[in-house]
C-alpha cells in the first residue's frame, strides 16, 4: 500500500513537471514568432491573449472531465494534445494560424493544469499530510527545464520546429513515465457533474485570494524589470535579474514548503507568507539601491510560494462544492488574475506611478494574510 502511495506521489510530481515544461517552452519562441511574421508589439500582445483565452475556456470543463473519466485520462490526453500543438507554434505562418495554435495550446495546458491539481488534492488526502507545495515546486522546476532546454536547443543552431519536437517528445516521455500511477477511476473523485458550476460559498472567497496572488505573480513577470530599470537601480539588460531572484525563491520555497506546512500548520504559514510577500513589495518599492530591491523580490517569491498550494488544498477540503468543480473554479479565477495583472498594473502606473501599483500589491498581500484565518479555521 505504501509503495502504491509513493508511486502516486511520483506520478503527480511528474505531471506537474511536464506541465511546467510545456508552459515555459513557448516563452523562447515568442521572438521567433514576432520576427517571422513581422509583428508589431501591439499585434503580438493581442495574439498572446489567445493563449489565456484558450485556458479560461477549457478550465471550467476540466473538473467535470476529470470527475467523469478520471484524472489519468484527462492528464494524459491534454498533455498529449499540448505536445502535438507545440510544434505548430513554431510553424504558424500567419497571425490567424498562430492565434488558433495558441488558443488550442492554452486549452490543453489549462485542462492539464486543473486535472493535475485535482490529482494532487486526491493524493494529498490519501497521504494525510502536506504535499501540495512540493507538487507546485515541480511545476517551477519544469518551467526552468522547459525554458532553459528550449533556449539551449535554439542556441545550438536547431530550428524552432526541431527544438519544439524535441521538447514535446521530452514532455511526452515524462508523462509516460508517470502514467501508470495516475488516478484512473472516476469514483476516486466524485460523481459526474455539470459542464460548469457557478462558484459559491467558501470557493468564492478562496478564488478571490487566488486572484490576488496570481495577479501579483503576473505583475512580477511583466513589470519587475521595468521597476528596476526605471529607477536606474539596474540597466535594461540587467532588469530580468529581479524576476530571476523571485522565481528561484519561489521554487525553493515550494520544494521545502511541505515540511514547513507540516511543522507550522497551514494557517500560520498562510499568515506569515502574506506578510513576507507584502514586506517584499514594500522593500522593492522603497529600495534606494539594487541590492535591497533584489532582497525585496526574494521576499516576494518566498512569501508567495506556498499560498497557492495551501489554497488548492483548502479548495479540495471545503464542503460547499465538489472538489473537482471547486478546483476548476479557483484555477480559472486565478488564471484570470495572471491575465488581468499586466493590464491593471499598467493602468495604475499610467494614472499615477509603477511604484504606487507595486505598493498596492503589497497591501493586497496584507489582505491575504489578514483574511486567511477566516477560512483556514476548518483546514488546520
Q: What digits encode the pLDDT tens for the residues 241-299?
A: 777 788 888 889 988 988 888 888 888 899 999 999 999 999 999 988 888 988 999 99
- Residues 164 and 87: beta-carbon distance below 8 Å: yes
Question: Rounded CA gap, 68 and 118, in Å?
Answer: 13
How much is the pLDDT for 74? Answer: 93
Tens of pLDDT, residues 144-195: 888 788 878 888 888 889 999 999 999 999 999 999 888 876 534 444 444 4
Residue 73 to residue 71: CA distance in whole angstroms: 6
CA distance 304 to 335: 15
Rounded Cα gap, residues 30 and 48, in angstroms = 9
Top mean-pLDDT range of 232-246, 260-274, 337-351: 260-274
What does the block give as the cell for 351? 494614472
User: Percent of the chain, pLDDT > 70?
Assistant: 88
Res 200: pLDDT = 66
- HSE-up of residue 212 (Cα within 13 Å, Cβ side): 23
Render the burial of 30-59: b for 16+ CB within 10 Å, e for the rest.
eebbeebbebeeeebeebbebbbbbbbebb
Question: How many Å apart are CA 261 and CA 270, to the nearest integer?
Answer: 9
| Degrees, nearest 5: CA angle 290-296-299 | 145
Please state the pTM of the whole predicted model. Answer: 0.76
- The residue behind cell 502536506 is 130
> CB burial class (10 A; 0-12, 13-18, 19+) of residue 69?
middle
Please state, in angstroms and rounded to a whole number, the distance separating the CA atoms of residues 102 and 97.
Answer: 9
Total length of the chain: 380
pLDDT score, position 349:
77
Query: In 10 A of CB 214, how many CB atoms?
Result: 24
**pLDDT score, position 263:** 87
Confidence of residue 238 (pLDDT cuts 50, 70, 90): low
**What would the 3-class secondary structure string for the chain be?**
CHHHHHHHHHHHHHHHHHHHHHHHHHHHHHHHHHHHCCCCHHHHHHHHHHHHHHHHHHHHHHHHHHHHHCHHHHHHHHHHHHHHHHHHHHHCCCHHHHHHHHHHHHHHHHHHHHHHHHHHHHHHHHHCCCCHHHHHHHHHHHHHHHHHHHHHHHHCCCCHHHHHHHHHHHHHHHHHHHHHHCCCCHHHCCCCCCCCCCCCCHHHHHHHHHHHHHHHHHHHHHHHHHHHHHCCCCCHHHCHHHHHHHHHHHHHHHHHHHHHHHHHCHHHHHHHHHHHHHHHHHHHHHCCCHHHHHHHHHHHHHHHCCHHHHHHHHHHHCCCCCHHHHHHHHHHHHHHHHHHHHHHHHHHHHHCCHHHHHHHHHHHHHHHHHHHHHHHCCCC
* Alpha carbon distance 190, 197 (integer Å): 14
User: What is residue 361's predicted lDDT score, i.e. its pLDDT?
Assistant: 93
pLDDT of residue 342: 67
* Structural domains in the chain plus CATH codes: 2-185 (1.20.1250.20), 202-376 (1.20.1250.20)
- Contact (Cβ atoms closer than 8 angstroms) between residue 314 and residue 376: yes
The angle subtended at Cα 116 by Cα 110 and Cα 120, nearest 5°, is 145
The overall average pLDDT reported for the chain is 83
How far is 211 from 221, CA to CA, in rounded Å?
15
Amino acid at each position: 500500500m505504501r509503495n502504491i502511495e509513493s508511486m502516486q506521489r511520483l506520478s503527480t510530481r511528474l505531471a506537474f513537471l511536464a506541465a511546467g515544461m510545456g508552459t515555459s517552452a513557448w516563452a523562447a519562441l515568442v521572438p521567433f514568432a514576432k520576427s517571422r511574421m513581422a509583428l508589431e508589439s501591439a499585434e503580438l500582445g493581442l495574439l498572446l491573449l489567445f493563449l489565456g483565452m484558450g485556458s479560461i475556456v477549457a478550465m471550467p470543463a476540466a473538473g467535470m472531465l476529470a470527475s467523469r473519466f478520471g484524472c489519468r485520462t484527462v492528464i494524459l490526453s491534454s498533455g498529449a494534445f499540448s505536445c502535438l500543438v507545440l510544434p505548430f507554434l513554431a510553424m504558424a505562418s500567419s497571425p490567424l494560424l498562430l492565434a488558433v495554435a495558441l488558443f488550442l495550446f492554452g486549452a490543453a495546458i489549462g485542462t492539464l493544469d486543473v486535472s493535475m491539481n485535482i490529482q494532487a488534492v486526491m493524493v494529498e488526502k490519501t497521504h494525510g499530510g502536506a504535499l501540495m507545495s512540493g507538487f507546485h515546486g515541480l511545476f517551477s522546476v519544469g518551467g526552468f527545464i522547459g525554458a532553459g532546454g528550449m533556449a539551449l536547443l535554439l542556441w545550438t543552431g536547431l530550428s524552432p520546429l526541431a527544438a519544439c519536437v524535441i521538447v514535446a517528445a521530452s514532455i511526452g516521455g515524462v508523462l509516460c513515465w508517470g502514467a501508470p500511477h495516475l488516478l484512473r477511476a472516476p469514483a476516486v473523485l466524485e460523481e459526474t457533474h455539470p459542464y460548469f458550476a457557478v462558484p459559491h460559498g467558501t470557493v468564492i472567497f478562496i478564488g478571490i485570494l487566488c486572484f490576488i496572488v496570481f495577479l501579483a505573480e503576473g505583475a512580477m513577470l511583466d513589470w519587475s524589470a521595468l521597476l528596476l530599470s526605471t529607477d536606474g537601480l539596474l540597466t535594461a539588460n540587467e532588469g530580468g535579474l529581479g524576476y530571476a531572484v523571485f522565481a528561484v525563491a519561489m521554487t525553493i520555497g515550494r520544494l521545502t514548503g511541505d515540511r514547513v506546512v507540516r511543522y507550522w500548520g497551514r494557517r500560520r504559514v498562510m499568515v506569515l507568507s502574506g506578510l513576507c510577500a507584502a514586506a517584499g513589495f514594500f522593500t522593492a518599492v522603497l529600495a534606494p539601491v539594487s541590492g535591497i530591491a533584489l532582497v525585496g523580490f526574494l521576499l516576494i517569491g518566498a512569501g508567495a510560494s506556498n499560498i497557492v498550494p495551501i489554497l488548492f488544498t483548502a479548495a479540495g477540503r471545503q464542503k460547499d462544492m465538489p472538489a473537482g468543480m471547486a478546483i476548476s473554479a479557483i484555477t480559472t479565477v486565478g488564471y484570470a488574475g495572471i491575465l488581468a495583472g499586466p493590464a491593471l498594473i499598467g493602468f495604475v502606473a499610467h494614472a499615477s506611478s509603477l511604484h504606487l501599483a507595486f505598493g498596492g500589491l503589497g497591501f493586497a498581500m496584507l489582505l491575504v494574510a489578514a483574511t486567511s484565518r477566516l477560512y483556514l479555521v476548518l483546514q488546520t
